Amino acid sequence: MNEFLKHFQKQQAAMTRREITTQTECPYCSVQCTMNLHEEKSIMVSRYSVSANKEDPVTDGRLCVKGLNAHVHAVDEGRLKYPMIREKGKLMKVSWEAALEEIRIQLQTLQGKYGNDSIGVYGGGSLTNEECYVLGKFARIALQTKYIDYNGRFCMSAAAGASNLTFGIDRGLSNPLTEVPLAKCIILAGTNIAECQPTIMQYFRKARQEGCKIIVIDPRETATCSIADLHLKVKPGYDAALVNGMLKVILDEGYTDPDFLEKRTNGYAELVEHVNKVSLSEVSALTGVSPQQITEAARMYGQAETGMIFTARGVEQHASGVANVRNFLNLVLVTGKIGKPGCGYGAITGQANGQGGREHGQKADQLPGYRLIENPEHRAYIAKVWGVPEEELPRKGLSAYEMMEAIDRGEIKGLIILGSNPIVSNPNSHMVEKALKKLKFLLVIDLFESETARLANILLPGSAYLEDEGTMTQLEGRVLVRRALRPLPGKARLDWRILCDIASVLGKGQYFQYQSAEEIFNELRVASKGGKADYYGMTYSLLEQQHGMFWPCPEEGHPGTPRMFEHRFEHEDGRAQLTPIEHQNPKEVATRKYPYLLTTGRVLQHYLSGVQTRHTSELNSKYPEPLLEIHPDSAGEIGLVNGGHAKVSSKRGTIRLKVKFSQKIRPDTVFVAFHWGNDQCINRLTNPALDPTCKMPEFKVCAVQINPS
Ligand SMILES: Nc1nc2c(c(=O)[nH]1)N[C@H]1C(S)=C(S)[C@@H](COP(=O)(O)OP(=O)(O)OC[C@H]3O[C@@H](n4cnc5c(=O)[nH]c(N)nc54)[C@H](O)[C@@H]3O)O[C@H]1N2
Ligand SMILES: Nc1nc2c(c(=O)[nH]1)N[C@H]1C(S)=C(S)[C@@H](COP(=O)(O)OP(=O)(O)OC[C@H]3O[C@@H](n4cnc5c(=O)[nH]c(N)nc54)[C@H](O)[C@@H]3O)O[C@H]1N2
Ligand code: SF4
Ligand SMILES: [Mo]
């Protein structure tokens, strides 16, 4: 281009340059930090940048590195922009009409031949409440299938199961984050907040400045340990045993709250009988934590005037996940540390809408508002809201991983996936890939051609957070409304609209006549009314005015419920249920053939199956591949070199990984993050043993063999 033309273009660009700043929420973790997106638009290109919203009352104007780069994948040119159908092995661009017609033919043919339950639906926790609600309704009304579940099964289900059994209700945090600094002792068990919810670290730092003692329970000395007064380097899979030791000290040394136990709980006598049998030295041998440290931790928490316990996936992603969490809840209850300022329990939710995603009906056994699909009254209520006879609602289906097994057995023939990448995120992912390849029909609605989308017969371009209006319920139980900022790229459509379009070609359009997300929300409010997660008293305008509202919020004018359990728990008699927890070994323990314990989790720069963050060079360049974190002593015994490679094998598979020495991990344990697919997918090794109550897989411990490679 000659100089004149260059100059001319520059002038034109300057003349048409516009700057637009709009407010949105980060699409990644459960904190849901609000942010300002700046777009500098000229005729040639748009440039984007992000800044924190100083007015955000939760984050106080903070963003982590993922948030600062969250726009990158959403505006990426590589986004899916057109519907595609696989023809002769290749995905080919087609019109929406052609795609919807093919979907109709496939679904009706399979259901005609094999019955309604031959189709499964698989959702995710990044979707808005409105989309989760429509997805559940779509499965039950448009497809009339019992098979629907979602990725939250791998995320929140153990904590949810435990809270339901102990408290009679499940909301992530029982208290708002602003109460964290009021606690005098905090236990952070299997939660790496510094890397996974970085912008809330400030609350814990503030607590510490106010004299709070912080105990971290983790097999690794994580970044979160920077605020710990005491770190219990537990062996993976032994949290319940550790808590039994702490309960023993608390009962023996008299740190219980007898008044609270008498007035507000059931089951104390049985718990005492069980704890009396616990021996600290046995607990120490099992957990690898010394009796002195167990005693110190129990005294810190037991003697503190106020206290809070937080758990996350480290404690929960086990075949004994529900029992593990219930033991932490025993600790909360025997000391009476709940329902008061600075006293409570929190399961730190993971995904952007991990909380709301588990409330409104995309779970196999659930209807909106935490209603249960097997409860006759609940069925009757929702059938009325949806305008169908109660008998037409399907019954309870299977959990996420069990659906994969049903696909493998040939019982589910077609699957619709919205907002998840199961080949990367399911345990035993070799089997999952094999199963998905057996499907007669796989429809994926995504932003990118993920590892799972690559197997689709039909791939539809869905909506990213910048385009998609709706509500999200963040980790505190606070419902926030997120407005749409940008037009959809190419021919992409809003996720909820795609579901309505499919319902319409299936002849069920009359149940899905929504013109906006707000209209769906107004139906969701009614559907949740009287349920445990009651949103009835919320409206978009109230949510906007107040920077969100905490559920339950049962009627208009109700202020919402920031602190739960002040006067009663949600079991019928208003009491919480204590329960003795016998320690169970993990399903796989170290053996001569598989001598190390593998645990898996996250790193700061990447998000879940990595589809979004691997598309973001600023993040990907800092952590471009999975690393095998191993203690140098163990590495030395195996003959590994720092920065070299190792072959890691479990009974289910083998992958090759780069080695990273770390003094911070237990010598019997190795850690690998799960953000990568194909040959770098650690889930090829993980154990699909499921918790009997909630069906959470044992992501956090399996036995492996390690060899130099
Ligand atoms: N950067 C980043 N942030 C995220 C996400 C992400 O992918 N990346 N994902 C979001 C989602 S969906 C979720 S669910 C959350 C997860 O948040 P976390 O649960 O905090 O994350 P994890 O790394 O899975 O596990 C936490 C810790 O558990 C420890 N651990 C492993 N086994 C055990 C055990 O047996 N007992 C105990 N006590 N600890 C154990 C691990 O060493 C790890 O440090 O993070 C959310 N935030
Ligand atoms: N080994 C091991 N495995 C684990 C875990 C672990 O700790 N260890 N943790 C588990 C946990 S806690 C979780 S939450 C799961 C998560 O596992 P997944 O659900 O598989 O993870 P995501 O990467 O969130 O998948 C989201 C997919 O949907 C797309 N997507 C994102 N947002 C949208 C949207 O708004 N609309 C549409 N249409 N598509 C969207 C993304 O591009 C991506 O392809 O992984 C689980 N798996
Ligand atoms: S803390 Fe979570 S919500 Fe906030 S910017 Fe980081 S990833 Fe996004
Ligand atoms: Mo999660």
Mutate to test the pocket of ligand 2, among 72, 608, 629 (most ligand atoms within 8 A of CB): 608
Radius of gyration of the chain (CA): 25
d(CA 600, ligand 1 centre) in Å? 8
Res 641: pLDDT: 98
d(CA 610, ligand 2 centre) in Å? 8
d(CA 562, ligand 1 centre) in Å? 25
CB atoms within 10 A of CB 158: 30
* Ligand 2 neighbour 448 (Cβ under 6 A): yes
* Ligand 1 neighbour 548 (Cβ under 6 A): no
In the structure, ligand 4 is a single-atom ion and the residues with CB under 5 Å from it are: 155, 350
Q: What is the mean pLDDT of residues 181-200?
A: 98
Q: Cα(453)–Cα(71) distance, rounded to whole angstroms? A: 22
* Ligand 1 neighbour 601 (Cβ under 6 A): yes
d(CA 93, ligand 4 centre) in Å? 33
Q: Cα(571)–Cα(591) distance, rounded to whole angstroms? A: 43
Query: CA triplet 15, 17, 23: central angle to 5 degrees?
Result: 155
**Would you say 237 and 69 are in contact if contact means Cβ atoms under 8 Å apart?**
no
Atom 40 of ligand 1: nearest residue by CA position = 314
CB atoms within 10 A of CB 77: 6
- Strands of the sheet with 213-217, listed across from one edge: 230-232, 213-217, 185-189, 307-311, 344-347
Q: Which atom of ligand 2 is nearest to the CA of 683?
A: 1
Res 6: pLDDT: 78
Q: What is the mean pLDDT of residues 665-672?
A: 98
What sign has the CA pseudo-torsion 228, 193, 71, 678?
positive
Above pLDDT 90, what percent of the chain? 94
* Ligand 1 neighbour 158 (Cβ under 6 A): no
Per the DSSP assignment, residues forming a β-bridge with 601 are 673
d(CA 221, ligand 4 centre) in Å? 21
Atom 5 of ligand 3: nearest residue by CA position = 67
* Ligand 3 neighbour 126 (Cβ under 6 A): no
CB atoms within 10 A of CB 492: 22
Q: Which atom of ligand 3 is nearest to the CA of 63?
A: 5
Q: Which atom of ligand 1 is nearest to the CA of 665?
A: 42
CA dihedral 578, 580, 585, 586 (to 10 degrees): -20
Atom 13 of ligand 2: nearest residue by CA position = 155
Whether the pLDDT of residue 11 is over 70: the answer is no
Q: Mean of the per-residue pLDDT values for the chain?
A: 96
d(CA 196, ligand 2 centre) in Å? 14
Whether the pLDDT of residue 248 is over 70: the answer is yes
- 586 prior amide bond cis, ω within 30: no
Mutate to test the pocket of ligand 1, among 325, 602, 627 (most ligand atoms within 8 A of CB): 602
Atom 6 of ligand 3: nearest residue by CA position = 64
* Ligand 3 neighbour 33 (Cβ under 6 A): yes
- Where does the pLDDT of residue 13 fall: very low under 50, low under 70, confident under 90, or very high at 90 and above? low
Whether the pLDDT of residue 249 is over 80: the answer is yes
Q: Cα(595)–Cα(608) distance, rounded to whole angstroms? A: 28
428-471 confidence digits (pLDDT tens): 999 999 999 999 999 999 999 999 999 999 999 999 999 999 99
* Ligand 1 neighbour 168 (Cβ under 6 A): no
* Ligand 3 neighbour 63 (Cβ under 6 A): yes
Atom 3 of ligand 2: nearest residue by CA position = 425
Q: Which atom of ligand 3 is nearest to the CA of 607?
A: 7
* Ligand 1 neighbour 232 (Cβ under 6 A): no
Res 12: pLDDT: 63
Res 42: pLDDT: 78
Amino acid type, 391: E
* Ligand 1 neighbour 236 (Cβ under 6 A): yes
347-358 confidence digits (pLDDT tens): 999 999 999 999
d(CA 360, ligand 2 centre) in Å? 18
48 versus 121: the higher-pLDDT residue is: 121
Nearest to 647 by CA among 615, 670, 666: 670
* Ligand 2 neighbour 447 (Cβ under 6 A): yes
Q: How do the domains of the chain map onto residue ranges?
A: 17-68, 84-153+354-550, 157-352, 596-708
And the tokens for 528? 């949740």
Res 16: pLDDT: 60
Contacts 24+ apart (CB under 8 A), 489-492: 489/79, 489/81, 489/461, 490/79, 490/80, 490/81, 490/82, 490/461, 491/81, 491/82, 491/83, 491/96, 491/461, 492/79, 492/80, 492/81, 492/461, 492/462, 492/463, 492/467
49-77 confidence digits (pLDDT tens): 899 999 998 999 999 999 999 999 999 99
* Ligand 2 neighbour 316 (Cβ under 6 A): no
d(CA 35, ligand 3 centre) in Å? 10
Atom 2 of ligand 3: nearest residue by CA position = 29
543-568 confidence digits (pLDDT tens): 999 999 999 999 999 999 999 999 99
Above pLDDT 70, what percent of the chain? 99
Q: Which atom of ligand 3 is nearest to the CA of 352?
A: 3
571-594 confidence digits (pLDDT tens): 999 999 999 999 999 999 999 999
Res 396: pLDDT: 98
* Ligand 3 neighbour 26 (Cβ under 6 A): yes
DSSP three-state, residue 369? helix
User: What is the number of the ligand closest to the CA of 499?
Assistant: 2
User: What is the number of the ligand closest to the CA of 237?
Assistant: 1
User: What is the number of the ligand closest to the CA of 351?
Assistant: 1
Task: State phi, psi for 36 to the nearest 5 degrees.
Answer: -105, 130
**Would you say 175 and 186 are in contact if contact means Cβ atoms under 8 Å apart?**
no
Res 18: pLDDT: 75
Q: What is the DSSP letter of 351?
A: B
Per the DSSP assignment, residues forming a β-bridge with 459 are 84, 444
* Ligand 2 neighbour 672 (Cβ under 6 A): no
- Where does the pLDDT of residue 22 fall: very low under 50, low under 70, confident under 90, or very high at 90 and above? confident
Which CATH code is given to the segment(s) 84-153+354-550? Answer: 3.40.50.740
Whether the pLDDT of residue 15 is over 60: the answer is no
* Ligand 1 neighbour 700 (Cβ under 6 A): yes
Residue burial 37-54, b: 16+ Cβ < 10 Å; e: rest: bebeebeeeeeeebebbe
Beta strands in 132-212 (DSSP E): 148-150, 185-189
- Where does the pLDDT of residue 707 fall: very low under 50, low under 70, confident under 90, or very high at 90 and above? very high
CA dihedral 91, 93, 96, 99 (to 10 degrees): -30
Q: What is the mean pLDDT of residues 280-295?
A: 98
Q: What is the mean pLDDT of residues 299-303?
A: 98
Which CATH code is given to the segment(s) 157-352? Answer: 3.40.228.10
610-648 confidence digits (pLDDT tens): 999 998 999 999 999 999 999 999 999 999 999 999 999
Q: Cα(405)–Cα(431) distance, rounded to whole angstroms? A: 8
Res 425: pLDDT: 98
599-609 confidence digits (pLDDT tens): 999 999 999 99
The residues, any chain, with a CB within 8 Å of residue 228's CB and separated by 6 or more, are 188, 214, 215, 216
d(CA 66, ligand 3 centre) in Å? 6
Model pTM score: 0.96
d(CA 608, ligand 4 centre) in Å? 7
Residue burial 437-471, b: 16+ Cβ < 10 Å; e: rest: eebbbbbbbbbbbbbbbebbbbbbbbbbbbbbbbb
- Where does the pLDDT of residue 46 fall: very low under 50, low under 70, confident under 90, or very high at 90 and above? confident
Q: Cα(76)–Cα(245) distance, rounded to whole angstroms? A: 51
Top CATH class, 596-708? mainly beta
Whether the pLDDT of residue 116 is over 90: the answer is yes
Amino acid type, 143: L
d(CA 98, ligand 2 centre) in Å? 28
User: What is the number of the ligand closest to the CA of 425?
Assistant: 2
Q: What is the DSSP letter of 141?
A: I
Top CATH class, 17-68? mainly beta
